[in-house]
């Protein structure tokens, strides 16, 4: 380039540049709705302190505004949307700006109002049902900062926990396996990660959760105590959006949006822990070589087929793995999938068809040249459910349908490694086919009195392929088998049937006050053969058979429901009595994992529970939350346990108080606080000791669980800070939470053992034993556990 041309270049582009700079004396930009990226017409745009020079956006959401002295605050406001304020520097003003306004943030209570009517608890017929909005769950201070569905449900009246840090739910005196946990209608057999520390549900992927504490509609059944009905979110049909979080132990990401146009959507959500990464940082080589992680992945696609039909397909897969030094491995996986077809036949006639499959499997590996093996097991449930609903008139709605379930519990398969001295074990499969017919009618008898009646008829067949064993006097006893019969595929083995009536009344005393009563019967054809309080991934599920009869539960309940202050406050008192038959326990020293004759290890009996649950809840305002108090008792009476006398299961905790508070200080700052107080767990402490086989052995009473852990209490707190809305698509927030704020040492376990050399940490292998005495060592898990999580959406 010659010098002349260079000057010309400078002149032309310099002039043009100058001209542009003159033009860019104005800031240009465009304003959109963050949810659908549609331009916002007529939004106000102005510099802070200079509204007079403000402009409004045009038909395409564009604006142009004269520059002030930089830096300056540019404010975008629009009716129904949150105001956006962004600091603009000279450099920012050189390019077109894009602002994404968020529809005015509905406060938590307003979201609730959208999901349920303010007077819902007064008017509806439901008792013992709790719906916790996912947004509320996300605001509850969380262990490790991991928002957890089940841990949140434990804060509701009538729901007990097995112990510190576990997610098992014990509802109104029922054990954890008496809860049906279902995801989009498909059952989840082991709903926990990390041995029960976390539940399997990623909160970002959830739309709703309903907890039925026994009084469930006739379209549901199969478990004696509770239904936890979890729904996966559907993707939006406007644009691709995402959200996620980076936490102390895991990260998660969710993407959603339209799939093929506006009539189909998708959502994919995943979560993965990185505890094993921390283990790698350990100075202890043994810990470094360990693996400990879980992940879950869920997805859902939905298709609108015209105005009347909608089909959605959802699937969830979650896996845990624990590996120790490449020599031991334990993994378990839930995989549940469902297909739902919802059809609107007419404005008063609906049809829903659902098919699902749920598989739970685990694998244990021992890599040892002498005794190595691989041990696997799988549980499968496949079902189809059809519901017809007809609105007869404004006062009467009828629904009826059929639910067919096929259970296939695979044989326990223990396969030795080549060269291993262990022999293989193969039990027989267990299969059950349960068909349920149900009908339910909701009818408004008068403006004040409404009723809902339902009937479910369960017809259960234990079917082949399988083997049935026979014992003297039909009393199963180990090594006493006298005969066995093999059954071929689908050949009937054992038959049970039972009617499950459901009845509920609501009487409206006034618009703010109602009385409700309900009766429910449920049969349960599967249960876990265990006598520990918390579930393990290798728990043995058993189907109803010749010796193990289905559990029967009957529950009556009565409740008063009162709203105050224009439905801002809800108050309820519910009393219940539940009777359980054919609940099981295990005999002393039972071995249930590898035997084909698990009936020889099982004891059977009855149980009952009763209680009063009170709940005061505030749903609106800057401060929301609830205060709950429950007085309840749970009992079991099983022949062969506790001298055949009634005893309290471990989760019997008569007094239970929970306080859940959330307060929004500003749009940027909010805080949460929870407080929990419960009576200590019912346990057995020694009443002496004795010496046998050169051991000093704790002596226990013959009566079970006559002692108590100290009372449990704990306070958690969290603070959430959301970045001020600057109109950007990316929105982030930080959550700081502390679990067990005041460091209460709540016992997880007491171990009664010898204390050597006056040091409870001293092991006999550590050196010379100078002294030994009986002692008690308490284990506690979490004291003042802070965590931090960054959440985002885009």
Partner 1 sequence: MKRIWLWILPILFSACQEEVFLPLGQKDELVPTIEGIWTDNGIYNEVKISLSKDYYDSLDVEIIDNAEVVITIPGTEKVIPFRYINGTRSYRPINPLEKAVVGETYKLNVKWGENIYISEGVMLEAPTVDSVTWKFEEERLFREEGYYIKVYGKVPFKEDNNYRIRVIENDTLKNQRDDYLLFDDTFGLQFFEQGLELGYAFEENDRVRLELFRLNRDAYDYLNQLVNLLFSDGGLFSPPPQNPETNIRVVQGDSEVLGYFMVSPVLARTVVIQAKYD
Chain residues 573-632 in contact with partner 1, contact rule CB under 8 A: 586, 588-589, 591, 593-594
780 counts as binding partner 1 under rule CB under 8 A: yes
Closest approach, Cβ 162 to partner 1, in A, equals 5
Specify whether the CB–CB gap between 633 and 609 falls below 8 A.
yes
Specify whether the CB–CB gap between 475 and 603 falls below 8 A.
no
Among 12, 90, 749, 784, binds partner 1 (CB under 8 A): 749
Among 776, 784, 786, 788, binds partner 1 (CB under 8 A): 776
If the CB atoms of residues 186 and 534 are measured against partner 1, the closer one turns out to be 534
If the CB atoms of residues 575 and 640 are measured against partner 1, the closer one turns out to be 640
740 counts as binding partner 1 under rule CB under 8 A: no
Number of Cβ atoms within 10 Å of the Cβ of 380: 18
Contacting partner 1 within 320-349 (CB under 8 A): 322, 324-325, 327-328, 330
Q: Is the torsion defined by CA of 251, 194, 662, 619 positive or negative?
A: positive
Contacting partner 1 within 636-665 (CB under 8 A): 650
**Tokens (6 digits) for 563:** 């709203």
Calculate the alpha carbon distances from 741 to 143, 148, 577 in Å: 11, 18, 36
Closest approach, Cβ 412 to partner 1, in A, equals 12
Closest approach, Cβ 684 to partner 1, in A, equals 5
Between CA 13 and CA 593 the distance in angstroms is: 83
If the CB atoms of residues 143 and 267 are measured against partner 1, the closer one turns out to be 143
| Closest-CA residue to 116 (of 466, 570, 792, 424) | 570
Contacting partner 1 within 247-286 (CB under 8 A): 275, 279
How many residues interact with partner 1 (rule CB under 8 A)? 89
Among 613, 781, 787, 789, binds partner 1 (CB under 8 A): 781
If the CB atoms of residues 564 and 594 are measured against partner 1, the closer one turns out to be 594
3-state secondary structure of 80: coil
Among 475, 645, 695, 723, binds partner 1 (CB under 8 A): 695
Q: Choose one: 228-236, 264-272, 461-469, 702-710; the region binding partner 1 (CB under 8 A).
A: 702-710
Specify whether the CB–CB gap between 407 and 394 falls below 8 A.
no
Closest approach, Cβ 179 to partner 1, in A, equals 17
676 counts as binding partner 1 under rule CB under 8 A: no
Contacting partner 1 within 37-56 (CB under 8 A): none
Specify whether the CB–CB gap between 174 and 553 falls below 8 A.
yes
Specify whether the CB–CB gap between 24 and 48 falls below 8 A.
no
Tell me if the bond preceding 71 is cis, omega within 30° of 0. Answer: yes
Q: Choose one: 54-62, 255-263, 506-514, 697-705; the region binding partner 1 (CB under 8 A).
A: 697-705
3-state secondary structure of 668: coil
Among 57, 152, 166, 520, binds partner 1 (CB under 8 A): 166
If the CB atoms of residues 371 and 489 are measured against partner 1, the closer one turns out to be 371
Q: Mind spelling out the 3-state secondary structure of 711-728?
A: CEEEEEEEEEEECCCCCC
Between CA 498 and CA 634 the distance in angstroms is: 25
Look up residue 764 and give its DSSP letter: G
Contacting partner 1 within 522-551 (CB under 8 A): 531-534, 536, 538
Rg (CA), the chain: 31
Find all residues with CB under 8 Å of 123, minimum gap 6, and list them: 117, 506, 508, 514
3-state secondary structure of 229: strand
Specify whether the CB–CB gap between 294 and 270 falls below 8 A.
no
Closest approach, Cβ 385 to partner 1, in A, equals 34
3-state secondary structure of 105: coil
If the CB atoms of residues 633 and 745 are measured against partner 1, the closer one turns out to be 745
If the CB atoms of residues 172 and 704 are measured against partner 1, the closer one turns out to be 704
Contacting partner 1 within 115-144 (CB under 8 A): none
Find all residues with CB under 8 Å of 717, minimum gap 6, and list them: 141, 671, 672, 673, 674, 737, 738, 741
Closest approach, Cβ 593 to partner 1, in A, equals 7
Among 132, 209, 224, 414, binds partner 1 (CB under 8 A): 414
Between CA 202 and CA 183 the distance in angstroms is: 12
If the CB atoms of residues 351 and 685 are measured against partner 1, the closer one turns out to be 685
If the CB atoms of residues 516 and 704 are measured against partner 1, the closer one turns out to be 704
Q: Choose one: 433-441, 670-678, 730-738, 758-766; the region binding partner 1 (CB under 8 A).
A: 758-766
If the CB atoms of residues 292 and 304 are measured against partner 1, the closer one turns out to be 292
Between CA 47 and CA 336 the distance in angstroms is: 54
Site map for partner 1, 197-216, x if CB under 8 A?
A: x-------------------
If the CB atoms of residues 330 and 493 are measured against partner 1, the closer one turns out to be 330
Look up residue 115 and give its DSSP letter: H
Number of Cβ atoms within 10 Å of the Cβ of 690: 10
Between CA 155 and CA 140 the distance in angstroms is: 10
Among 783, 790, 793, 794, binds partner 1 (CB under 8 A): 783
Q: Measured between alpha carbons, how far apart are the two ends of the chain, in Å? A: 48
Contacting partner 1 within 351-390 (CB under 8 A): 364, 368, 370-371
Among 9, 11, 690, 730, binds partner 1 (CB under 8 A): 690
Contacting partner 1 within 58-117 (CB under 8 A): none
If the CB atoms of residues 305 and 749 are measured against partner 1, the closer one turns out to be 749
Contacting partner 1 within 465-484 (CB under 8 A): 479
Burial (Cβ within 10 Å: 0-12, 13-18, ≥19) of residue 403: buried
What region, left, alpha or beta, does residue 412 occupy, with left being phi > 0 and alpha being psi -120 to 50 degrees? beta
For tokens 């909005």, the residue is 133
If the CB atoms of residues 555 and 600 are measured against partner 1, the closer one turns out to be 600
Closest approach, Cβ 481 to partner 1, in A, equals 12
């Amino acid at each position: 380039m010659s010098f002349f041309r260079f000057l010309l270049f400078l002149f032309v582009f310099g002039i043009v540049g100058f001209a542009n700079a003159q033009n860019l004396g104005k800031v240009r930009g465009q304003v959109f709705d963050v949810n659908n990226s549609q331009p916002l017409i007529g939004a106000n745009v102005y510099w802070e302190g200079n509204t007079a020079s403000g402009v409004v956006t045009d038909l395409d959401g564009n604006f142009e505004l004269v520059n002030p002295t930089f830096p300056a605050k540019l404010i975008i406001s629009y009716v129904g949307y949150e105001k956006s304020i962004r600091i603009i520097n000279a450099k920012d003003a050189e390019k077109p700006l894009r602002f994404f306004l968020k529809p005015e943030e509905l406060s938590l209570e307003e979201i609730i109002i959208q999901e349920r009517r303010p007077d819902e608890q007064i008017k509806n017929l439901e008792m013992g049902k709790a719906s916790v909005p996912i947004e509320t769950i996300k605001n509850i201070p969380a262990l490790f900062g991991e928002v957890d569905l089940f841990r949140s449900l434990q804060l509701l009246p009538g729901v007990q926990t097995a112990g510190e840090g576990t997610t098992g739910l014990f509802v109104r005196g029922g054990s954890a396996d008496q809860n049906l946990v279902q995801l989009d209608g498909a059952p989840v057999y082991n709903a926990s990660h990390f041995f029960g520390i976390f539940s399997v549900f990623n909160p970002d992927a959830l739309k709703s959760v309903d907890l039925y504490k026994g009084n469930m509609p006739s379209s549901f059944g199969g478990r004696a105590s509770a239904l936890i009905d979890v729904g996966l979110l559907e993707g939006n049909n406007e644009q691709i959006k995402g959200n996620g979080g980076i936490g102390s132990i895991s990260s998660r990401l969710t993407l959603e949006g339209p799939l093929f146009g506006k009539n189909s959507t998708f959502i994919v959500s995943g979560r993965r822990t990185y505890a094993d990464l921390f283990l790698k940082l350990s100075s202890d080589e043994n810990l470094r070589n360990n693996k400990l992680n879980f992940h879950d992945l869920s997805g859902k696609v939905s298709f609108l087929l015209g105005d009347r039909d909608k089909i959605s397909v959802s699937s969830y897969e979650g896996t845990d793995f624990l590996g120790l030094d490449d020599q031991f491995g334990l993994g378990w996986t839930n995989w549940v999938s469902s297909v739902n077809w919802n059809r609107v036949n007419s404005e008063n006639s609906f049809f829903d068809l659902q098919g699902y499959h749920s598989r739970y499997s685990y694998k244990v590996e021992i890599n040892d040249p002498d005794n190595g093996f691989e041990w696997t097991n799988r549980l499968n449930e496949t079902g189809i459910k059809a519901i017809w609903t007809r609105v007869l008139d404004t006062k009467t709605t009828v629904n009826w349908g059929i639910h067919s379930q096929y259970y296939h519990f695979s044989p326990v398969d223990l396969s030795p490694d080549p060269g291993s001295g262990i022999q293989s074990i193969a039990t027989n499969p267990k299969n059950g086919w349960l068909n349920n017919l149900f009908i339910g009618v909701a009818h408004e008898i008068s403006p004040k009195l409404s009723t809902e009646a339902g009937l479910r008829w369960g017809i259960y067949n234990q079917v082949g392929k399988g083997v049935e064993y026979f014992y003297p006097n039909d009393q199963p006893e180990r090594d006493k088998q006298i005969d066995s019969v093999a059954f071929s595929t689908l050949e009937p083995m054992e038959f049970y049937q039972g009617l499950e009536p459901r009845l509920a009344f609501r009487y409206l005393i006034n618009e703010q006050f109602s009385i409700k009563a309900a009766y429910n019967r449920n049969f349960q054809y599967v249960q876990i053969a265990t006598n520990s309080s918390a579930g393990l991934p290798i728990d043995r599920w058993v189907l109803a058979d010749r010796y193990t009869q289905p559990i029967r539960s009957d529950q009556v309940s009565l409740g008063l429901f009162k709203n105050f202050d224009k439905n801002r406050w809800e108050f309820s008192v519910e009393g219940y009595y539940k009777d359980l038959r054919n609940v099981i326990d295990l005999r002393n020293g039972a071995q249930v994992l590898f035997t084909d004759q698990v009936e020889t290890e099982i004891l059977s009996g009855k149980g009952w529970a009763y209680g009063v649950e009170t709940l005061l809840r505030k749903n609106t305002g800057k401060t929301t939350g609830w205060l709950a108090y429950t007085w309840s008792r749970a009992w079991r009476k099983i022949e062969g346990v506790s001298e055949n006398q009634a005893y309290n299961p471990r989760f019997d905790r008569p007094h239970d108080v929970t306080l859940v508070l959330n307060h929004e200080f500003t749009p940027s700052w909010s805080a949460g606080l929870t407080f929990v107080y419960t009576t200590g767990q019912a346990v057995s402490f020694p009443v002496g000791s004795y010496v046998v086989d050169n051991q000093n052995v704790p002596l226990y009473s013959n009566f079970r669980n006559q002692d108590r852990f100290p009372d449990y209490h704990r306070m958690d707190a969290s603070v959430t800070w959301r970045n001020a809305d600057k109109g950007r698509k990316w929105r982030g927030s930080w959550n700081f939470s502390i679990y067990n704020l005041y460091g209460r040492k709540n016992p997880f376990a007491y171990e009664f053992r010898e204390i050597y050399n006056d040091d409870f940490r001293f092991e006999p292998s550590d050196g010379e034993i100078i002294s030994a005495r009986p002692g008690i060592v308490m284990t506690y898990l979490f004291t003042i556990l802070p965590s931090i999580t960054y959440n985002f959406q885009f």
